[in-house]
Structures are given as C-alpha cells and as structure tokens.
C-alpha cells in the first residue's frame, strides 16, 4: 500500500559548465511512495516554478527505462539503490520517511555538466560514430534468411545490445571508464556473422576514440556492471580486450 513520506533532498545545482556548483537543500513533503523518483522531482519542481524559482534541471524522456536519457547519482549510487533500474523506474517506496537523499550528476571528465543534473554525453555518440555499425547501404541487404545465425550467438548479441547508453557505467567507475559501454557494442557486432568484415577495424577505431574522449581505463572494480540498469555483463570487457588483441595480431 502506498503511504506518504517526507524527505530532505541535497541537490547539486550548477548553472552551467563555466560556473562552479554547490549543494542546495530542498524539502520533499508528502511524497507518495508509489511515485517514481523522477515524479518526486517533478513535484518539487512544480513548487519551485510556482514560487518563481529555477527548477532542478534533469534529463529524462521515456520514463520506461529504455531511452537512456535519465540518470543521476543518489546517495553515492548511480541510478540509486535498486539493481537493474534507471531512476525513472526507481520508486519512492524504496526510501524511508525522514531520509536525506544526496543527488548528484554523473561525474566524469568526458561528460561535462550542462546544468544541475544534466550532462553532455555526446562522447558516446562519437565513439559509436567511430565504428559501432555495420557498413551496409540501404537496399543492399541480402534476404534475411541468407545467413542463419546460431540462436546462442543471437541471444548473446542481444544481451550486449540491450545497453541503453545512459552512462551509469562511467559514473560508477572510479576511473570514469567507458569500457562497459564500448565493449557492449563491440561484442554485439563481433558475435554476429554480419559484423565479421569490419570486426578488427571496428574495435581498434572505437577504443581509440574512447581513449581520446578522456574516459579512463578499466581496473576491474566491477562497479559498472553493478550499476548497469540493463545488467550488461563485465564479460563484454574481457571480450573487447580479446578482440583488440586479435586485431593487433592480425594487422
């Protein structure tokens, strides 16, 4: 059953990337425990707006956990305390009356802050642009059944392809590494027969772009896997490292 709780929010406020930020404290009163975390922020923002105050900026869109637009750190955890959950699918029944929630943006050199909790994740787009695709022109494809794909490969590719590009892996990593994100795409395409022709070049090019964006390296903390709302496995990073070695040997 739903009930009402009162919370204290300590929210990171930063007008833009040129100005330094600070925590501001806001009460969140009479919060229905059936609300999602973002609906709770909506309620706080509606009150701020009515008082003529600047509402808390946060990115969000589908609110079904699939677009990857939302994300913030709650009490030190990317996307909050629930496993396999984005903040839009996190519900207030998860918190107790009287709690203080510290809410921060993703913090990483490669994700500059735009405002408050909203960050610029265009580095991810540039990594995909460096090779996260199969170069097939529209209209040039053979019949879909021309190349059978073993079910196991297709399923594993799907596991990796479930990544929503939210950036929690980067935020959770002490090195702000993007290896879980990059390896998910590398794995998906390396596992499929259609991805073979560009396999070597793809991993080299994507990893090189990843490095130049300022993401850190992987030192096996596993924080990325723990914070991933889509439960992307750390095994993908191992696979990416093998792919990179393989490409090096073959070049």
Partner 1 sequence: MVLDSKVPSGPISEKWTKHKFDLKLVNPANKRKFEVIVVGTGLAGASAAASLSELGYRVKSFCIQDSPRRAHSIAAQGGINAAKNYQNDGDSVYRLFYDTVKGGDYRSREANVHRLAEVSVNIIDQCVAQGVPFAREYGGLLDNRSFGGAQVSRTFYARGQTGQQLLLGAYSALMKEVKRGGVELYPRREMLDLVVANGQARGIVVRNLVTGEIESHAAHAVLLATGGYGNVFFLSTNAKACNVTAAWRAAKRGAFFANPCYTQIHPTCIPVHGDYQSKLTLMSESLRNDGRIWVPKKEGDNRKPSEIPEQDRDYYLERRYPSFGNLVPRDVASRNAKDMCDTGHGVGSTGQAVYLDFRDAIDRLGESAIRSRYGNLFQMYEKIVDENPYKSPMMIYPAVHYTMGGLWVDYNLMSNLPGLHVLGEANFSDHGANRLGASALMQGLADGYFVIPYTLGHYLATHKVEDISTDAPEFKEVEKQAANRIEKLLNINGKRAVNEIHRDLGLLMWDKCGMARNESGLKDALKKIPEVREEFWNNVNVVGSPGSFNQNLERAGRVADFLEFGELLVHDALERAESCGGHFREESQTEDGEAKRDDENFCYVAAWEIDQDGGNPILHKEPLEFEEVSLTQRSYK
**Near partner 1 by CB under 8 A, which window of 5-13, 21-29, 136-144, 217-225?**
136-144
Map the footprint of partner 1 across residues 160-199, applying CB under 8 A: 161-162, 164-165, 188-189, 192, 194-195
Q: Decide: residue 134, CB within 10 A, 0-12 exposed, 13-18 middle, 19+ buried.
A: middle
For the chain, the helix, strand and coil percentages under 3-state DSSP, each to the nearest 5: 40, 15, 45
Cβ atoms < 10 Å from Cβ of 179: 24
**Near partner 1 by CB under 8 A, which window of 73-81, 98-106, 114-122, 212-220?**
114-122
Residue in 32, 225, 233, 241 binding partner 1, rule: CB under 8 A: 32
Shortest CB 219 distance to partner 1, Å: 27
**Near partner 1 by CB under 8 A, which window of 95-103, 150-158, 172-180, 214-222?**
150-158
Q: Is 202 in the site for partner 1 (CB under 8 A)?
A: no
Which positions from 66 to 105 touch partner 1 by CB under 8 A, shown as an x/- string?
A: xxxx------------x-xx---x-x-x------------
Which stretches of the chain are assigned E, i.e. beta strand? 4-13, 22-32, 73-74, 77-78, 100-104, 113-115, 118-119
Integer distance in angstroms from the first to the last C-alpha of the chain?
Answer: 61
Shortest CB 242 distance to partner 1, Å: 19
Task: Point out which residues pair with 32 in neighbouring strands.
Answer: 4
């Amino acid at each position: 059953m739903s009930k009402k709780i009162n919370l204290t929010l300590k929210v990171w406020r930063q007008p833009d990337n040129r100005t330094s930020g600070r925590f501001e404290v806001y009460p969140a009163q009479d919060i229905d425990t059936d609300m999602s975390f973002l609906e709770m922020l909506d309620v706080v923002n509606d009150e701020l707006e009515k008082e003529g105050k600047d509402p808390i900026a946060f990115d969000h869109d589908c609110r079904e956990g699939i677009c990857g637009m939302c994300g913030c750190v709650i009490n030190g955890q990317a996307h909050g305390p629930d496993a396999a959950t984005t903040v839009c699918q996190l519900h207030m029944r998860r918190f107790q009356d009287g709690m203080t929630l510290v809410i921060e943006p993703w913090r990483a050199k490669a994700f500059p802050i735009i405002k408050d909790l909203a960050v610029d994740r265009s580095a991810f787009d540039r990594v995909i642009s460096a090779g996260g695709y199969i170069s097939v022109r529209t209209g040039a494809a053979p019949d879909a059944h021309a190349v059978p794909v073993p079910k196991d490969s297709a399923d594993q590719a799907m596991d990796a392809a479930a990544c929503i590009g939210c950036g929690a892996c980067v935020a959770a990593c002490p090195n702000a590494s993007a290896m879980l994100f990059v390896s998910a795409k590398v794995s998906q395409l390396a596992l499929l027969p259609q991805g073979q022709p560009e396999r070597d070049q793809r991993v080299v090019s994507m990893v090189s772009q990843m490095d130049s964006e300022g993401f850190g390296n992987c030192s096996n903390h596993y924080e990325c896997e723990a914070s991933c709302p889509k439960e992307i496995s750390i095994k993908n990073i191992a696979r990416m490292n093998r792919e990179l070695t393989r490409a090096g040997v073959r070049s």
